[in-house]
Amino acid sequence: MKIILLTYLANIIVAGYIGISSLFFPKFSSATIFQNSYQTTDVIKLIGCLWLAIAILSLLGLWHPLTFSPVLLLQLIYKSTWLLVVAIPAIRQNQTYPSVMAIFFLVWVLVLPFVIPWSEWTK
């Protein structure tokens, strides 16, 4: 149970930071988090909404870890999809992409399957 709580805490810090900076400081977010890989458009704010929602759900997960654990599955799915559809093709075509984000996503995709309480969902 401690590992899931640490995961929620990491989500609150990282997703909260990215969500707030993308929503309220999109130019800063575009330059730092997204490493100038994308133009500063309202899409960055859309991503900020998603990440802030993950941070808020993770905050609630501190009190009800199993109830809010599907947010971890959502992260596993969208981070894996982004790596497969965006990052890997960009790497293969020698295009720019947010490499720090890709590394973070890769680590998270490798860790989340061991954190998600699969057995609790099948009861």
- Ordered DSSP codes for 12-71: HHHHHHHHHHHHH-HHHHHHHTSTT-S--SHHHHHHHHHHHHHHHHHHHHTTSTTTTTHH
pLDDT (tens place) for every residue of the chain, 123 residues total: 899 999 999 999 999 999 999 999 999 999 999 998 888 889 999 999 999 999 999 999 999 999 999 999 999 999 999 999 999 999 999 999 999 999 999 999 999 999 999 988 877
Range of the domain at 21: 2-121
Tally of domains in the chain: 1
pLDDT at residue 45 in the model: 94
pLDDT at residue 40 in the model: 86
**Long-range CB contact pairs, 28-36, < 8 A, 24+:** 33/98, 33/100, 33/101, 34/98, 34/101, 35/96, 35/98, 35/99, 35/100, 35/101, 36/96
Neighbours of 56 (CB within 10 A): 17
